[in-house]
């Protein structure tokens, strides 16, 4: 006897690994994994702030508060004129 005769009525099973684009991280991650991701993002943010503080200590601030306020006003005026439309 061969296996074909015994398994004649069974349907073949094909396992095709695929990525499901509809799955979000919230659906697949457990709370401990999400906490780890959040902690790593926080650490990266700290490293970024520390590097920026070193640059500002060496070269001074990129813009003063007054410079930033004027830049924001100018940029908003630029957008209001419709230049980016």
- CA dist., res. 25 & res. 35, Å (int): 12
Query: Quick one: pLDDT at residue 1?
Result: 44
The 10s digit of each residue's pLDDT in 10-63 is 555 555 555 555 655 556 778 888 899 899 999 999 999 999 889 888 888 888
Tokens representing residue 41 in the block: 């993002």
Helix (H/G/I), strand (E/B), else coil: 79: helix
Query: Quick one: pLDDT at residue 62?
Result: 82
For residue 83, pLDDT beyond 70: no
- CA dist., res. 35 & res. 40, Å (int): 9
Tokens representing residue 45 in the block: 């943010």
């Amino acid at each position: 006897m061969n296996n074909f005769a015994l398994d004649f009525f069974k349907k073949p099973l094909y396992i095709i690994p695929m990525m499901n684009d509809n799955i979000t991280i919230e659906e697949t991650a457990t709370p401990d994994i999400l906490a780890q991701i959040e902690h790593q993002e926080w650490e990266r943010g700290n490293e970024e702030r520390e590097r920026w503080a070193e640059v500002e200590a060496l070269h001074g601030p990129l813009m003063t508060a007054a410079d930033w306020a004027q830049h924001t006003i100018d940029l908003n005026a630029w957008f209001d004129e419709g230049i980016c439309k």
